[in-house]
Amino acid sequence: GENVEQHPSTLSVQEGDSAVIKCTYSDSASNYFPWYKQELGKGPQLIIDIRSNVGEKKDQRIAVTLNKTAKHFSLHITETQPEDSAVYFCAASQEGSQGNLIFGKGTKLSVKP
Amino acid sequence: DTAVSQTPKYLVTQMGNDKSIKCEQNLGHDTMYWYKQDSKKFLKIMFSYNNKELIINETVPNRFSPKSPDKAHLNLHINSLELGDSAVYFCASSPRGVTEAFFGQGTRLTVV
């Protein structure tokens, strides 16, 4: 089955700096890679996703890159703000099948003002 | 107008009790899930239902039984609660054939 590894487990940056979180996956059949943000006391919220037919996707300060050959994908947050502080999860799945999301173990991001 | 709603948000109960958590989604999605998040924040799938039919049943004790009365609802019933069941349980839903999941706010279960 699919296995998703996520690094680092904690990340502390100064406001305005960039943050990068990296994930690797094991199942070459996986073709859908979402990123979730979980704030304290709330459920995970989808912030961006990428499908295997593209290598990069950007949405304002957030971007995700995918390297299918190496089986890794990354989340990039630029110009970080204190409200970006949260736990971020990557996940992988086979879209269109009856599969489910396999999550990484999460990265706690702290943005210091 | 909450998309995925769970009740209750907090649940404190004694070992050995039976409890239920309810979930409803108003997104018109065909697939609903239950995830468990442990104390280390690890999110793991428990069950997946597609149009009221059980699709995935991961290695979960049979004390946990999901019930889907219709495709908008997926409830989780837990028998003979144990200390190790303490966790946050999340309900989620996704459109047919798409695994983009929308999560509820979670139910923090504490077994004492």
Query: Which pLDDT score, from 0 to 100, does residue A98 have?
Result: 60
Of B45, B48, B98, the CB nearest to A95: B98
How open is the CA angle A84-A56-B104, to the nearest 5 degrees?
A: 45
Note whether B50 and B29 are within 8 A (CB): no
CB proximity list for B43: less than 8 A, separation 6 or greater: A44, A89, A103, A106, B35, B36, B37, B90
| B44 and A CB contact within 8 Å | yes
Interface test with A, best of B4, B34, B43 (most A CBs within 10 A): B43
CA distance A77 to B57: 35
Q: Name the residue of chain A whose CA is nearest to B105's CA.
A: A43
In terms of C-beta density within 10 A (0-12 exposed, 13-18 middle, 19 or more buried), how is residue A13 classed?
Answer: middle
Strands B31-37 and A10-14: unpaired
Query: Which pLDDT score, from 0 to 100, does residue B20 have?
Result: 97
CA distance A24 to A3: 8
CB spacing of B56 vs A44 below 8 angstroms: no
Note whether B81 and B13 are within 8 A (CB): yes
Q: Which of A94, A90, A113, A88 minimizes the C-alpha distance to A103?
A: A90
CA distance B107 to B75: 12
Instruction: Output phi, psi for B83, to 5 deg.
Output: -55, -40
Summarised one tens digit per residue, pLDDT across range B22-35 is 999 999 998 899 99
Side chain identity at residue B43, one-letter code: L
Query: Which pLDDT score, from 0 to 100, does residue B111 have?
Result: 97
Summarised one tens digit per residue, pLDDT across range A78-111 is 999 999 999 999 999 987 666 678 999 999 999 9
CA distance B78 to B47: 13
Summarised one tens digit per residue, pLDDT across range A37-90 is 999 999 999 999 999 888 999 999 999 999 999 999 999 999 999 999 999 999
Instruction: Output phi, psi for A71, to 5 deg.
Output: 55, 50
Interface test with A, best of B37, B99, B100, B102 (most A CBs within 10 A): B99
CB spacing of A46 vs B98 below 8 angstroms: no
Of B41, B56, B100, the CB nearest to A49: B100
